[in-house]
Structures are given as structure tokens and as C-alpha cells.
Amino acid sequence: MNQGFKFLTLWVITLVLVSLVDALWHLVIFGRAYREDFKVLAILKNNRIVFRTFYGFLAQLVLVSCLILLVIFRDPEKVKFSVLVGAMAGLLAITVYGLTNYALIKDWSPRLMVLEVVWGPLLGAWGGLVVSLAYRWLFR
């Protein structure tokens, strides 16, 4: 397997596994909280929240791509360090998003802010772990 294909495989594995866990958090574990609190903010059609799929996918693409680069540019062989780098990336991307929205958006709920503050480092740590383990599997 050539290097380019290995990196593409790493990216796909990370995108799929991070997106699945992110969807599980937002739709299943805390789905009710997100639906209730976002409803006052969201675009609605027939009283249902409209999800702009392209932009949601683009957000995941940017998050995963940056996470992979941050882990790879450090040392993907060190799993604990990769998890820490991932947690910090999640803190910067998702936690800051939740805090900023709470600071600026009138109807952004405290519950959404707390969920995003907690979720950022957790999702990032998971992503860092996935990148590290997939990298070790692919490049050994």
C-alpha cells in the first residue's frame, strides 16, 4: 500500500469513527436536549429542524482534517500524547464554539453551552486516539 493511499485510508477511518461518535452524542445520548434547545434557533420545516447536510459534512471534514494534521505533526506513535493533542483540538474547536455562542446568541441555552464545553475535549480525545491507533496500524 503506497503512502498516499495509507493517508487517505487514515483520513476515511478517522472521519467515519469520529462522525459516528459525534452523531451518537448529538442524536441519541443528548438528542432530546439538542432538539429542544436548538428548536428556538433552527431553521424549521413542518416543525422539524432542517439540517444543512453539506455544511454539516464540511464542518466534520475540517475538524477531522485538522485533528489528523495536529496528531501527525507531533508524534502519532505516542497514544497518550495523541489523545491529549486531540482533546486540546476539541477544546479549541467545539468548546470555544459553545462558549462563544452562549456569549453572543440570545437564545443559546446554558444546557447547550455545557454540553458543547464537555463534548469538545471528549470528541477530540476520541479522535486523537483513533488517529494514533489507525496510524500505527497503517504505517507499521
124-136 residue pLDDT tens: 999 999 999 999 9
Between CA 69 and CA 140 the distance in angstroms is 18
Q: 7 is written with which cell numbers? A: 493517508
Give the pLDDT confidence of 50-82 residue by residue, as tens digits: 999 999 999 999 999 999 999 999 888 899 999
State how far the Cα of 3 lies from the Cα of 7, in Å rounded to an integer: 6
CB 102 within 8 A of CB 108: yes
Closest CA to 40 of 98, 103, 108, 115: 108
d(CA 137, CA 132): 9
